[in-house]
Amino acid sequence: MRRPSLLALLFAAVLAVVVPGQAQAQSSGRLVTFDKDEIAIETAAGDRHIFEVELAVSPEQRAQGLMFRRSMAATAGMLFLFEGSRERAMWMKNTFIPLDMLFIDQGGVIVRIHERSVPQSLQAIASGQAVSAVLELNAGTSSRLSIKPGDRVIHPAFKSGS
């Protein structure tokens, strides 16, 4: 039997830090469930786009995210809510749907968009600055709806409110 290389072990350890709880969620073999809520994205151009999102609030929910899903409705998404604001990183392990990742600050302002993430990639996708949430939408949604950094996500989780 072939032993994993030191580099492979180091890489696995780094990923465990980047996405806490990932290994536990996978090894338990059970999938968690999510509450749903509605959010709006208001663009600088004055457009308002409504999405029905699943809320990833607990460590187990955030670890699972959209893993193992094969499709998602065009107006659906997942909103990852974190305690506090700091730089965050996401990955696509076991995620089969290409996604846009919108990194959101405490006030609900989109500070960075990573478009068209590669399914099942182990590459860490960093926020680049302190954020308190990440919204995942189907790949191409940001471009199609002209959603850009500086636009605002409206949800009670953000200081900007309703």
Helix (H) or strand (E) holding 35: strand 35-42
Rounded to two decimals, what is the model's pTM?
A: 0.79
Cα 20–chain centre separation: 14
3-state secondary structure of 45: coil
Tell me the β-bridge partners of 142. Answer: none
Selection from 15, 34, 103 nearest residue 72 by Cα = 34
Q: Which domains does the chain have, with CATH numbers?
A: 6-154 (2.60.120.1140)
CB atoms within 10 A of CB 56: 24
**Ranges 2-6, 28-32, 40-44, 146-150: which has the least confidence:** 2-6
Share of the chain above pLDDT 70, in %: 80
pLDDT in tens, 60-113: 999 999 999 999 999 999 999 999 999 999 989 999 999 999 999 999 999 999
In this predicted structure, what is the pLDDT of residue 160? 57
**Main-chain dihedrals φ then ψ at residue 41, nearest 5 degrees:** -115, 120
Q: Residue 155 corresponds to which tokens in the numbers above?
A: 């949800």
**108 vs 131: CA distance, rounded Å:** 9
Asked if 43 and 146 count as a contact pair (C-beta separation under 8 A), the reply is: yes
